[in-house]
Amino acid sequence: SSEVLEAIENVFQDVLKSLAQKKAPVLTMANRADWRNIEFKDSVGLQMIPHCTTKQIRSDCPRSALKFALVLKVLSMIYKMVQSNTYATKRDIYYSDTLLFGSQSVVDSIINDISCMLKIPRRSLHILSTTKGFVAGNLSYTEEDGTKVNCTCSATIILHAANLNRKDLISHAKFMLIVEKDATFQRLLDDDFCNKVSPCIMITGRGVPDLNTRLLVRKLWDSFQIPIFTLMDADPHGVEIMCIYKYGSVSMSFEAHHLTVPSIKWLGLLPSDLERLNIHKDVLIPFTKQDQNKLASIQKRPYIACQPMWKKELEIMAATKLKAEIQALTSLSSDYLSRVYLPNKLQFGGWL
């Protein structure tokens, strides 16, 4: 905490120095959205390069003056929370002054900018993200306040994964399955999938994963070193989500070391599965222009070059211009996913 306080004090001292010299204060931070600032390393994923291009938030420029003020406002809130050892969610910060911030996304972006500027992980800033992910299966752990959590019985909301110590995690799972959608996750729970094939841990970020879900996946990987498989829709959006778990995202590349698991495998739904299983054309969905653009963008990314099998699957998707949701498997039989598809894939190594 003293490191966080000192880092914030340094920012304010620089502002005061500029004012004393009758200069307009300026905040300088790494440009998180620029691909030129990102390098791909197959052992880590997408990470920010050490000497990256920066952007300035000026206090004397009409376009950036409000953002300058908002960054200082959030920094002062973080300072008070660290001093008093209290925490707030990103939503709490937004609702402390909705008129000033304007939207939740403005607050989220500023918090990530501050974390990147101070080179301090977001969880050390005493800001918690409102979590949306679920975990279920062969896992139990003890929270900071001593509460024992058992995920064997039902889906458990993923709380502040950053606070879990490795020694608090107990599991006899043989593998982990990351499921893109909540509906599929719940269906697999209803089918008792966690115990049927062999004990496993299932996780869903319910779409694009939040920070807590990604932290938990990484923490479980560090703790148990068991295979991790992903079950996504056979569409560009599903591939994008899988890549976030495996290689990280551009906007959070400064925290890649805590968030990515490059050993994650693509189990399904593979574009090649659609033809192999003779999925009826009626349940396939034609690409939109947005899908085509997303796929083209993914195909150009540095990590696809080192995944020749993935490259082939994306080429199949691009050639057919068709996508499929995991639910497409129910056209074969209502429990095909848990009874046939997943057990066969896991037994015979049908992953990439």
Q: CATH no. for residue 245? A: 3.40.1360.10
What average pLDDT does the chain have?
Answer: 86
- What pLDDT shows up at residue 28? 85
Based on the fold, state whether residues 305 and 195 are members of the same structural domain. yes
How many Cα atoms occupy the beta-carbon half-sphere of 164 within 13 Å? 25
- Per residue in 75-134, pLDDT (tens digit) is 999 999 999 988 888 888 899 888 889 999 899 889 988 888 888 887 788 887 767 888
Q: pLDDT tens-digit profile of 299-322?
A: 988 888 888 899 999 999 999 999
Share of the chain above pLDDT 70, in %: 96
Distance in angstroms (rounded) separating the CA atoms of residues 59 and 183: 47
Tokens of 166: 């490795």
Same-domain status, 69 and 123: yes
pLDDT at residue 29 greater than cutoff 70: yes
Same domain, 101 and 173: no
**Which of 290, 210, 292 lies closest to 251, judged by CA?**
210
Q: Report the range of poorest mean pLDDT among 144-158, 182-196, 216-230.
A: 144-158
Q: Which of 128, 151, 173 is the last residue of a domain?
A: 128
The pLDDT value given to residue 224: 92
Please give the positions annotated as active site: 95
Say what the pLDDT of residue 270 is.
94
Whether residues 311 and 182 share a domain: the answer is yes
Same domain (yes/no): 199, 233: yes
Q: Which residues contact residue 83 at a Cβ distance below 8 angstroms, ignoring those fewer than 6 apart?
A: 5
Which residues, 6+ apart, have CB-to-CB distance to 96 below 8 Å?
77
Q: HSE-up of 259 (CA within 13 Å, CB side)? A: 26
What confidence score (pLDDT) does residue 160 get?
A: 66
Same-domain status, 99 and 176 = no
Residues 235 and 162 in one domain: yes
pLDDT tens sequence across 34-44: 777 777 777 78
Under the banding of pLDDT at 50, 70 and 90, the label for residue 46 is confident
Last residue of a domain, one of 85, 105, 128: 128
Structure tokens at 75: 């920094």
Which domain range does residue 85 map to? Answer: 2-128
What is residue 162's predicted lDDT score, i.e. its pLDDT?
62
Contacts 24+ apart (CB under 8 A), 308-316: 309/352, 310/266, 310/352, 312/272, 313/266, 313/270, 313/271, 313/272, 313/352, 314/239, 314/271, 316/271, 316/272, 316/275
Asked whether residue 64 falls in the same domain as residue 165, the answer is: no
Non-local (6+) Cβ contacts of 345 within 8 A are 267, 268, 351
Residue keyed to tokens 């054309």: 281
Tell me the percentage of the chain whose pLDDT exceeds 90.
30
- Indicate whether 168 and 99 sit together in one domain: no
Please give the pLDDT value at position 278.
86
> Tens digits of per-residue pLDDT, 161-194?
666 666 778 889 999 999 999 989 988 988 888 8
The total of structural domains in the chain comes to 2
pLDDT for 176: 94
Q: Could you say which of 128, 163, 194 is where a domain stops?
A: 128
The reply to whether 169 and 308 lie within a common domain is yes
Longest dimension (CA), the chain: 74
Q: What is the pTM of this model?
A: 0.78
105 shares a domain with 13: yes
Whole-number Å distance between alpha carbons of 189 and 247 = 27
Helix, strand, or coil here: 225? coil
Is 293 in a helix, a strand, or coil?
A: helix
